[in-house]
Structure 1
Amino acid sequence: MQSFDAVDPATGKVFAQVHEADDVLVGRAVNAARRALDRGWADTPVQERVALLRRAADGIERRFEDFVAAEVRDTGKPVTQARNLDVARAVLNFRTFADIVAAAGEEAYLTDLSGGRQALNYTVRKPLGVVAVIVPWNLPLLLLTWKIAPALACGNAVVVKPSEETPSTASLLAEVLAEAGAPKGVYNVVHGFGSGSAGQYLTQHHGIDGVTFTGSSDTGAHVMRAVAPRVRPVSFELGGKNAAIVFDDVDVDDALDGLSRSVFTNTGQVCLCTERVYVQRRIFDDIADGLVRRAQALRLSDPWSDDTTTGPLISEKHRHKVLDYLTVAEEAGATVITGGGVPTMGALSGGWWIEPTLWTGLTNKDRAAREEIFGPVAALIPFDTTEEAVTLANDTDYGLAASVWTNDLRRGHDVAQRMRTGISWVNTWFTRELRSPFGGVGLSGIGREGGEHSLHFYTEPTNVCVQL
């Protein structure tokens, strides 16, 4: 069996070897999942499946620091983020979906027929079956548990392929689920790459009943082509080129606090991060100067230090991509108002570090303002009127998220609803209600997950009609 290197992004050093699954091993994983369903997992009472999720949450808490260490080593993100966001949210994902599934009901209707008769129509939801779960490298544990918690709660078996960049937490979770009592074959993990590797073998396997995928729009298109001949359902959360609209009546400091989070969190490697900031002209300089100060105050350092705010990019390849866009922006006439290069990192100079970067002088016609970069970068662009701001923000092939910053809540509601996105925030960013729908439009995805929307994807409904 072939293997590949697991590399620490903060140092550029190899810390482990990972076995790459071939088509035979992927087939064994899919067959194991099918056998788990056939042995009765799909028919397990809901309360037993819900109890498994709660035990899994408890298991993550018991091994909390193990998950933190694995996440930091794989991604290079600051340890405080791994603790307070990634691993904490994994626990919450399991507990939230346990509660949602435990309380879920079904539709039932009395239908009037001729002659005073009636029929009872009710819905039975059955597990989708064997679900391929493909997760990205930016929030590997958070997004993995976001998908498998509702999938398992609904009675499915899963085959997980984590990103080749971040293999550790998916394997660690297998240990926790086994300890929690998950039947053999319910949760399976295969490691590898996309095309010509585990990802392709998994999505093309005839035994897969559905695919849930988070990642780039290009890869999403490849997955759609792979499942199209068998007409399998898909749930995609893909890329974004997210906009923020900042009106001149806003509290500038509050807006700056929110914008600095939305641009620079996780080194800009979050699908919800802001890469386009539209600022009403009267306060444009105030916002630009304030964001520069906040960018320059970020601490790029050892991810294991509690005062580190910003880690490296995920890989050397990804840093090349982001650096290429820095060149593209400058060639288009952008003015770099902070950042724009690779920092000097001393003992960490072997890692994939990059300076948080802000531009002025770009327009919506420029590539750097249209294409997803997925780094700690943003273009600041002025506007004059509300209509202009809405037009600029919606001028994109993506449609994942937007944020609106204003003290006029009537305008905030109006503009947020006019955004062609899956989620619109007003005076906040990354605030999540796990019962609400999550997903994108356009190149940002297909379908919704979250709350009962997840249950709809991970189950197939059957209408039963009984004449009374």
Structure 2
Amino acid sequence: MSQTIYKNYIAGAFQSSQKLFDDISPIDGSLVAKVAEASNSDVDKAIDAARNAFNTDWSNMSLKTRCDLLDKVALTIEKRFDDFVDAEVADTGKPANQAKLIDIPRGAENFRFFSNYIKTSRTDSYEMQYEDGSKVINYSIRKPKGVIAVIAPWNLPLLLLTWKVAPALAAGNCIVAKPSEETPGTATLLAEVIHEVGFPKGVFNIVHGYGPKSTGEYLTKHPDIDAITFTGESATGSKIMKSAADGVKPVSFELGGKNAAIIFDDADFDAAIDGTLKSVFANCGQVCLCTERVYVHQSIYEKFLEKFKSKAEKITENWPKEESLDFGPLISKEHRDKVLKAFSTAISDGGILEVGGGIPVFNDKRDSGSWIEPTIFTGLGEQSDLIKNEVFGPVCHITPFESENEVLEKANDSEYGLAAAIWTKDINKAHLISAKLNVGVVWINSWYLRDLRTPFGGMKLSGIGREGGQYSLEFYSELTNVCVKL
């Protein structure tokens, strides 16, 4: 059987390169594919192709024709649904049911949503009258920015790549995208879909490679890139921002989080248990929105802890395509080493390991993968590493609290400000606390319910800007104000 090679997609053609790297499955350590690492010259060609397409075919295309192409992308992703599921699972190890229910449907929906949304997007106009009776009207014209560099993460590869690509294309931009080196599969399939539905050459380009001293760094520093959008670690975002500053380029960053769940004593107990369990362990904790800090009212703390531990211990780790799987592996052994180091530090700091903390033994090929146990800690102070620093793994620390002021202070005492969840039957209290939490997203009696029209993003080290609906279009567009004297 021949080896799969994921190639770069540049100027409407799939191209290999002199250097190849391995795409390794986190499930069992097997080789998924060889991947063509884009050289600096390849990146130059991709950017030149995008610039040429922007200056000719794409910018002159009608909105209806552009949106028709986006709709065809959504439809073709759905037609190739199983291919996308297989590629997503092979690269990430996530449960196949998760890919089927969330990742791939959202990948298609992102294109369909922004195709529809931009058709009703508006700009403002204002009428003004002077003392002599003369009038002027000011109105705004929305224009695409140009060539956008898209740097996508590995945790939700298709979902988060298309979350950026779809609005950028809808707004009339051209794209050079670099998927994570850990998860090149669905990005390559997306290029195949875009090629199949007939996008003009150069509108969408994929360049594979690593970040520092490789494809990603060269792309984000390139002088002919007009804007950069990135999802990933806060430290990486800071480096990209420094390089973008030299060219005064706009950036949109969705970065890390150290999200808190607050469970009050009047909460629906079972709903709070199940919702928090999902928010901690979904995708093996590898979602920027996952909960890593759990604050439980003192009066129900012991009851909550015992029930939460019991449920966590029953989480199943199985082959990704098995129906019984709740929980996949971490993305790589290197990432697992980082997570295990965080566990070790927590124990050294005096933390109590309530559940997990180690590597499961399967006595089959999965032992060569990057699996890890769902983990719960208690007993640490608020300044400990585990509570202050993002782990990005299947772990939480559970802390009791006595008053609203106390828990608000603890929840806000973080360099991050992405998301929080509040569990209580007192909706008035939930509204008041939501207004005081320094985060970009608050869920009340729920978690990860998303309306694509709403602003998504974080405060502090969790990011710059917002994505979703009009907020995405604002980033991918420039506004020109036109003043007309009547």
Question: TM-score normalized by structure 1?
Answer: 0.99
* Residue of structure 1 in register with 2:462 after alignment: 444
* Residue of structure 1 in register with 2:6 after alignment: none
- What residue identity is the alignment partner of 2:57? G
Alignment check: 8 A CA contact 2:457 2:463 kept: yes
Within-5 A mapping of 1:100-179? 100-179=117-196
**Deviation per CA, 1:174-198, whole angstroms, max 9, x where unpaired?**
1111222211101100000111100
Within-5 A mapping of 1:276-295? 276-295=293-312
- What residue identity is the alignment partner of 2:247? R
**Deviation per CA, 1:417-444, whole angstroms, max 9, x where unpaired?**
2110000010000000100000001000
Unpaired stretches in structure 2, ≥5 consecutive residues? 1-17
* Residue of structure 1 in register with 2:443 after alignment: 425
Alignment check: 8 A CA contact 1:133 1:148 kept: yes
Specify the SS of the correspondent of 1:260: helix
Aligned sequence identity (%): 50
2:202 matches 1:185: yes
2:433 matches 1:380: no
Task: State the shift of 1:294 in Å.
Answer: 1.4
Within-5 A mapping of 1:327-406? 327-347=344-364, 348-406=366-424
Specify the SS of the correspondent of 2:270: helix
Task: State the shift of 1:114 in Å.
Answer: 3.5
Alignment check: 8 A CA contact 2:57 2:200 kept: no
Within-5 A mapping of 1:16-415? 16-347=33-364, 348-415=366-433
2:13 matches 1:3: no
Specify the SS of the correspondent of 2:246: helix
Alignment check: 8 A CA contact 1:250 1:406 kept: yes
- What residue identity is the alignment partner of 1:441? M
Specify the SS of the correspondent of 1:230: coil
**Deviation per CA, 1:19-46, whole angstroms, max 9, x where unpaired?**
1111110010000000101113123211
Structure 1: distance between partners of 2:226 and 2:200: 20
Task: State the shift of 1:346 in Å.
Answer: 2.1
Alignment check: 8 A CA contact 1:403 1:429 kept: yes
**Deviation per CA, 1:358-397, whole angstroms, max 9, x where unpaired?**
0110121100110000000000011000010110000000
**Deviation per CA, 1:27-86, whole angstroms, max 9, x where unpaired?**
100000001011131232111111111111000000000000000000010100011010
Specify the SS of the correspondent of 1:100: helix
Task: State the shift of 1:459 in Å.
Answer: 0.3
- What residue identity is the alignment partner of 2:193? V
Unpaired stretches in structure 1, ≥5 consecutive residues? none
- What residue identity is the alignment partner of 1:410? N
- What residue identity is the alignment partner of 2:376? L
Structure 1: distance between partners of 2:416 and 2:64: 39
Task: State the shift of 1:15 in Å.
Answer: 2.1
- What residue identity is the alignment partner of 2:255? L
Structure 2: distance between partners of 1:130 and 1:240: 29
Structure 2: distance between partners of 1:186 and 1:285: 56
Moved more, 439-448 or 47-56: 47-56
* Residue of structure 1 in register with 2:10 after alignment: none
Specify the SS of the correspondent of 2:480: strand
- What residue identity is the alignment partner of 1:13? S
Structure 2: distance between partners of 1:287 and 1:202: 48
Alignment check: 8 A CA contact 1:301 1:345 kept: no
Specify the SS of the correspondent of 1:115: coil
Structure 1: distance between partners of 2:38 and 2:222: 14
Moved more, 431-440 or 40-49: 40-49
- What residue identity is the alignment partner of 1:379? H
Structure 1: distance between partners of 2:404 and 2:35: 51
Alignment check: 8 A CA contact 1:43 1:155 kept: no
Structure 1: distance between partners of 2:24 and 2:96: 17
**Deviation per CA, 1:242-298, whole angstroms, max 9, x where unpaired?**
001100011110100100000000000000000000000010011111111111111
**Count of residues in Structure 1 that have an aligned counterpart in Structure 2:** 468
**Deviation per CA, 1:87-144, whole angstroms, max 9, x where unpaired?**
0111111111111101112111111124101111110010010000001000010001
Structure 2: distance between partners of 1:356 and 1:242: 17
Structure 2: distance between partners of 1:14 and 1:455: 39
Specify the SS of the correspondent of 1:249: coil
Structure 1: distance between partners of 2:286 and 2:212: 23
Specify the SS of the correspondent of 1:463: strand
Specify the SS of the correspondent of 2:416: coil
CA RMSD in angstroms, aligned pairs only: 0.8
Structure 1: distance between partners of 2:269 and 2:347: 28
Specify the SS of the correspondent of 1:138: coil
Alignment check: 8 A CA contact 2:84 2:104 kept: yes
